[in-house]
Structure formats: structure tokens, C-alpha cells
Structure 1
């Protein structure tokens, strides 16, 4: 792993290395429920990676989420558009280590974080995940216009 990390620090891999580090920071921020850090990482990544014409599409947001949680795949099985029994969840992070919370991420545009949390609750996703894990984090990622990224939490 050390050789891989050293390779990523080379000039031609510098950006990729920085994205991997940001991915670690994003997962840490999510687990600490550090909303401001999450918003900053998502906004910076979104601004850098998404063309202006596709700025607020759900697909582009999903791509950004996949990128900023790249390293989370070491400790989570991440499913996109997972069937929940009462619809689909945008992202569910299934922990591969005991003690880690499940994470449900719901993407919304022009809606409130509370509406997204209500949708998660109505789909009863967390109830099912709690049978396997001690707790789950319900996260809504919202956009409304070009620069608004908000999170709400329900543990």
C-alpha cells in the first residue's frame, strides 16, 4: 500500500491522490456528522468535476457522491438505487465492519432536507438496516440552485 501511495504522490498522479485523501475526509466527516466539512468537500468536487450545463442533475450528483466516497468502499458495500420494498434509496452504505453505522444518502433537488428524511422514513429503510446494525445515519443531500448543498441528519 505504501508503494501505491508513493506512486499517487508523483506529479502525474497528484490529483488522483488528492481525491483519495478527500474521500477519506468525506467519510470521516459523515461519520462525525460534520455537515460543514461534507458540504465543502461536495461543493468543491462538484464545481471541479461537473460541467455547468449538467450542474444540478441527479446523475451528476450521483457521480460526485461516488467520487467523494471512493475510499468508503474499503469499509462499506455501497449500493446505488437499491430496492427498499417501498421504492428505491439513492445510496445505501452497508457496513462491512461491525460497529460502523449504515448510511442512507438521499439526493433531492429543490426540496427540503426534512422532506428527504421523511421519504427515507416512509420507505422504512432504516428499520430494516437496524436489524443488522446498531444504528444508521439518514442523510439528505440537497441542491436548490447552483450553490446550495445542505445536509440533514436523523440517527
Structure 2
């Protein structure tokens, strides 16, 4: 046999909001209310400033334009890569597997590498650390490959542009 349970009796009149005692919350103090208002205004101001003047580096308060823009239908697609040349004359494209450096990290440092080509020595060090028995690196370069696009598809043609270079 099942026991029947009785629903709790609602002591509040219908249509009235519950009292503070019924919710178990105390009212917000004037200081607490002012703090919340200041934080809200500051957050909205940061979002507005970031939207108007920000760059990807200011995310989440700035726009993340990487996914917010598109290229023209026939505009080339540019992809940066780092490569080393060893004493035997071989050119090796740096990958995460052979250097621990991802392409995105190279692309993120393009401006720095242009201003300070000596910073490319760090890429040579990363390659040597991952390949201790490999021949000595004599040159590091950052190359941007511009892939031609026609009718929104690749043509198979490209041009390479060396934008930064360091020689050991």
C-alpha cells in the first residue's frame, strides 16, 4: 500500500512575489548594489572600447576578426611558414613535430621577426633541440606563400615571399 503525501501549503497570497524570508536571501546592501553597478558599467565600457578600437589581441573585449571577415573571391590566400637551411644545403620546413613550433606561433610573431630577424635564432635552437644529430643550421627564414585563387578555388599557382631571414 502506498502512503499519500500532502503538498506543502503555500502561505503567500497568489500573484505576490515571495518574501525575502521565503527565499532565504537577504536584501543587497547599498555598497553591494553600487559594486555591481560599477562592475557592469566597466564591463560594458570595455566591450564598447574593444569593439570600436580593439584588435584580436584584446579578445574577449575586442573583436576576433579572424572569423569575422572574408577574402575577395579571387584574392590570394597567404600562409606563412618557417624553414631552416642546414650546412648541407637542405631546406627543412619547420613543423611542430621537428621543432615544437606550430605555424600559428610563427604567424603570430611575423611583425617581430620582420623587426628583429635575430629572433629567428630561437627557431634554429628549437630545431636543434628536437634534432640533436641533424647537421648545423646556417639560415632560418620566414616565407609567406601566396596561393592564387580563381573563381573561389585554388589554381595551383603560388608565389613565395621571404619576409624575414637570419643567418648563423
- More helix by percentage: 1
- Asked which structure has the greater CA Rg, the reply is 2
Fold shared by both chains (TM-score > 0.5): no
TM-score with structure 1 setting the length: 0.27
